């Protein structure tokens, strides 16, 4: 039984420069009920017109350079209604804090915290299993 309350699948746009990681993210999203990938790209600035037209519910943002946090800030301003999930090469507390301060709603290590990303996506989609109360 689904616990989702939204009337449509949540739309997701992936911004990730590394092809193998983007492919893995697409596979993960296909396995999450209630998510529909509406696009994928490699650069926030280059993809901004598409993002503004689509207005996805969720944007997965893969960090790659110092410019990436600036891209997170840009997306926060341009897509205030979107949930930004930042995926970093480092899951350090310092990196997580910087990502959240830049406007990310979540921040995960893109290789080591795939399970945490999946759990967050399930919670956002409303399909996460609910624990039974004693």
The DSSP secondary-structure symbol of 111 reads T
Helix or strand run (H / E) with residue 114? helix 114-125
Is residue 104 within 8 A of residue 125, CB to CB? The reply is no
Tens digits of residue pLDDT in 18-66: 888 889 889 888 888 888 999 999 989 999 999 999 999 999 999 876 6
How far apart CA 28 and CA 37 sit, in angstroms, is 11
CATH of domain 10-125: 3.40.50.2300
Question: From CA 35, how far away is CA 62, in angstroms rounded?
Answer: 18
> Is-contact 127 3, C-beta < 8 A?
yes
Query: What is the percentage of the chain residues whose pLDDT exceeds 90?
Result: 43
Q: Give the model confidence (pLDDT) of 114-126 as tens digits.
A: 889 989 988 888 8
Q: For the chain, what are the domain ranges? A: 10-125
Residues 47-57: tens digit of each pLDDT? 999 999 999 99
Helices within 55-88 (DSSP H only): 67-78
Helix or strand (DSSP H, E) at 52: helix 44-54
């Amino acid at each position: 039984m689904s616990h989702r309350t939204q009337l449509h699948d949540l739309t997701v746009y992936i911004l990730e420069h590394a092809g193998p990681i983007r492919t893995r993210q697409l596979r993960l999203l296909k396995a999450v009920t209630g998510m529909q990938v509406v696009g994928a790209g490699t650069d926030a600035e280059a993809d901004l017109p598409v993002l503004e037209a689509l207005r996805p519910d969720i944007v997965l943002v893969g960090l790659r350079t110092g410019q990436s946090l600036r891209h997170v800030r840009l997306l926060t301003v341009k897509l205030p209604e979107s949930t930004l999930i930042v995926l970093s090469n480092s899951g350090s507390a310092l990196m997580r804090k910087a990502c959240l301060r830049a406007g990310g709603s979540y921040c995960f290590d893109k290789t080591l915290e795939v399970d945490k990303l999946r759990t967050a996506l399930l919670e956002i989609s409303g399909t996460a299993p609910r624990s039974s109360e004693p």
